[in-house]
Structure 1
Amino acid sequence: MPDALHPCLTCGACCASFRVDFAVQEMQDMGGTVPGGLAVEVTDTTCRMRGTDHVPARCAALTGTVGVKAACGIYEWRPSPCREFEAGDHACNRARVRHGLPALADGLIF
């Protein structure tokens, strides 16, 4: 798909569907990459991206409109659960359907 836009650049459904917890060591002030202020401490060992435990969920780092044009405002510095999320897998398609978007093919590679 050389000329096609990556579906994640118009989606953002995952960022507006799931709670995102990660190790405190991923925070910038602990030597990681996630900017301070975008996460809250849950326990001594766990942080959560702001907004992901709200109803409806929406990560504080998500910019744009879900399903139209969306992007992660901290893409290069996002936490490990976001890095591990795969376009087209079961969780992705659950999030897409939740937001009225069509499912993607499993295992998309761009």
Structure 2
Amino acid sequence: MTAAAFDCRTCGACCAYSAEWPRFSTEDDAALAAIPAGFVDEAAGRMRCEGDRCSALAGRIGVEVACRVYAVRPEVCHTCEPGDPECLIARRRFGLPLGAAP
């Protein structure tokens, strides 16, 4: 399946895969300050999670999702690519298609 075949707006698996992610890495103070405080787990250096799910993720995994902080999301979220190995691991966890588009 090509990257274009993976629609992040209907997936969201990468944002609900682990409470350890997304972790802040290269963001400067200004970038971190732009993220609304309610979504930030400052002590852990990452986005606040509800279970394994990023608190900024709205919607239903595999149906329709959106990031509430998309414009100011952490750098690690920018580097996540549709169809990359990490994407496939997350999709597998939620039983979402990994092969040819339906």
Q: Find 1:49's aligned residue among 40, 47, 50.
A: 47
Secondary structure at the counterpart of residue 38 of structure 2: coil
What letter is aligned with 2:37?
G
C-alpha separation in 2, matches of 1:7 and 1:60: 20
Counting only pairs closer than 5 Å after superposition, residues 62-101 of structure 1 correspond to structure 2 as: 62-101=57-96
Q: Displacement of 1:35 after TM fit?
A: 2.0
**Structure 1 stretches lacking a partner, 5+ long:** 106-110
TM-align CA RMSD:
2.4
With normalisation by structure 1, the TM-score equals 0.73
Query: Which protein is richer in helix relative to its size?
Result: 2
Measure the CA separation in 1 of the matches of 2:17 and 2:86: 10
How many percent of aligned residue pairs carry the same amino acid? Answer: 43
Report the CA distance between 1:59 and its aligned residue: 0.4
Amino acid at match of 1:62: L
Give unpaired runs (5+ residues) of structure 2. none
Compared with structure 1, are the counterparts of its residues 104 and 41 closer, same or farther at alpha carbon in structure 2 (3 Å cutoff)?
farther
Rounded to whole Å, the distance in 2 between the matches of 1:38 and 1:24 is 18
Paired amino acid for 2:47: M
How far is 1:34 from its partner? 2.0
After the TM superposition, list the runs of 4 or more consecutive aligned residues in structure 1 that deviate by more than 3 angstroms. 23-26
Structure 2 residue matching 1:17: 3-state secondary structure: coil
Aligned partner of residue 31 in structure 1, secondary structure? helix
SS at match of 1:71: strand
